A and B are shown apart, each in its own frame.
Chain A
């Protein structure tokens, strides 16, 4: 197995035009970013800084206005179909289909891949069991709690055994205990599967707790800081959090981030 390809953004720019006024809004301004295979990267930034636009560009649902975003030697937008089954996503809300049971929701991407019925069922059941939902496979989304629904969404993402996992504020709406538990499960499974994982979040604790690396976005996805978390001892996490917060507030890197 060759493993996941690297993700490379070069001079990435994305401009939207407002429907009513036609006014241009720069969501991402000249972003250069390299994400190595199997890295777990947390992208943090304030609301409206371009995190979700980067997410949509990485999924391939949006095309860059200028510059490139490549996964390996291909563009997720231009080579859209090539990435079927290679990229999976977990969103802020579970986004389960209400007319499908937990099992059928987890099977959905496998149906799209055209796997046999047996393979779909086996693989979906495996992941639902791993996420502790073995007794709820026939339950409809409205019969599950918020945390359980998000587990189904995670099972749906992992079921395709993707090279790249993207999570957009995936745990932000859950209570703290459930969020921590799910975050840890997500991280452990991503590492076990050898997937590259990108987590978009506005919660600094989540970014520090999950990422090998934290990328801090300023306005228009300006790269304010690119932090390797591993060298930071756990005892310094409070300081790291304060430094990131200061970076976000001042829109420039905090000097404490240079210490590691």
Chain B
């Protein structure tokens, strides 16, 4: 084991003192502020105490979490398959790439809110609207990342592979796909974070289920405690999904130094 590896592994095992201290300081400040709020002229509902937030946690419904999670995972899978397929087609055909690339850049420049408005105006079904917004936002990220990764496969490896005369399918399955796996994982991590944020906004606007919808209700009731609790659930979901991807990544990329 090199010095660098040793240093990293020791750091990993360390007690997360800095994180805990900063969290504790935040919690104490929040709690103090929640008690001082009335004397400072701040409405009491704006900074609820942790006791109230804990009560909000008790009201959290698993069904809403499951619905949001299903929307995120479903849309990410569809986006990934579409992005990968289009990236492969664009890698194979230079003219297709020339036509599609400006369109993809254009799609990526459109704000999420505009997509939500388009979806509401174009489609009657709520699930399709949310799915559409997620796919149109996350799909291009998968596509561009995959295409860039394919172009980044070393010429020497492509040359070696071609010298053994693979079929087109073999070329993709034996070389291109394994070579772009690290970039695919990076893309998944970026898109999980993006999808969680986008699904919340989409649900906030047009859904009757899901975490976004619950946040909308909390806003109508002026319940900061509920907003806080549901936000923490979203953050926990994000960390959970990222940890899951990181675990698969470690397993699949164990060949890396």
Contacts and interface: CB of A to CB of B under 8 A. Distances in A.
Contact of B163 (A81, A89, A97, A100): A89
Contacts of B159: 61, 91, 95
A93 B256 CA distance: 19
A232 B175 CA distance: 45
B43 interface: no
B178 A109 contact: no
B18 interface: no
A61 to B, nearest CB: 6
Contact of A140 (B156, B181, B255): B255
A108 B164 contact: yes
Nearest to B178: A99
Contacts of B164: 84, 88-89, 108-109, 112, 160
B157 A95 contact: yes
B14 interface: no
B186 interface: no
Contacts, number: 54
Interface string B152-187: 000011011011111100100011001101000000
A83 interface: yes
B8 interface: no
Contact of A98 (B162, B165, B166, B255): B255
B156 A61 contact: no
Contacts of B175: 97
Given A59-B163, A61-B163, A83-B165, A95 B156 contact: yes
Nearest to A111: B174
Contacts of A59: 163
Contacts of B170: 111-112
B257 interface: yes
A124 to B, nearest CB: 14
A105 B165 CA distance: 15
Contact of B160 (A80, A84, A89): A89
B165 A95 contact: no
Interface in A15-62: 59-61
Given A91-B156, A95-B157, A97-B157, A61 B162 contact: yes
Given A97-B157, A112-B170, A84 B165 contact: yes
B257 A142 contact: yes
Contacts of B178: 97, 99
Interface extent on A, as a size class? 20 to 34
Contacts of B165: 60, 80-81, 83-85, 87, 112
B5 to A, nearest CB: 13
Nearest to A82: B165
Contacts of A95: 156-157, 159-160
Contacts of B257: 142
Interface string B227-257: 0000000000000000000000000010111
B255 A112 contact: no
A61 B165 CA distance: 9
A2 B191 CA distance: 57
B196 to A, nearest CB: 30
A112 B174 contact: yes
Interface of B: 156-157, 159-160, 162-167, 170, 174-175, 178-179, 181, 253, 255-257
**Shortest 6 CB-CB distances between A and B: which pairs?**
A95-B160, A84-B165, A89-B163, A109-B164, A99-B255, A140-B255
Given A111-B170, A111-B174, 8 more contacts: A59-B163, A61-B159, A88-B163, A89-B163, A91-B160, A95-B159, A99-B181, A112-B170
29 contacts: A60-B165, A61-B159, A61-B162, A61-B163, A83-B165, A85-B165, A87-B165, A88-B164, A89-B163, A91-B156, A91-B160, A95-B157, A97-B178, A97-B179, A98-B256, A99-B253, A99-B255, A100-B255, A108-B174, A109-B164, A111-B170, A111-B174, A112-B165, A112-B166, A112-B167, A112-B170, A140-B255, A142-B255, A142-B257
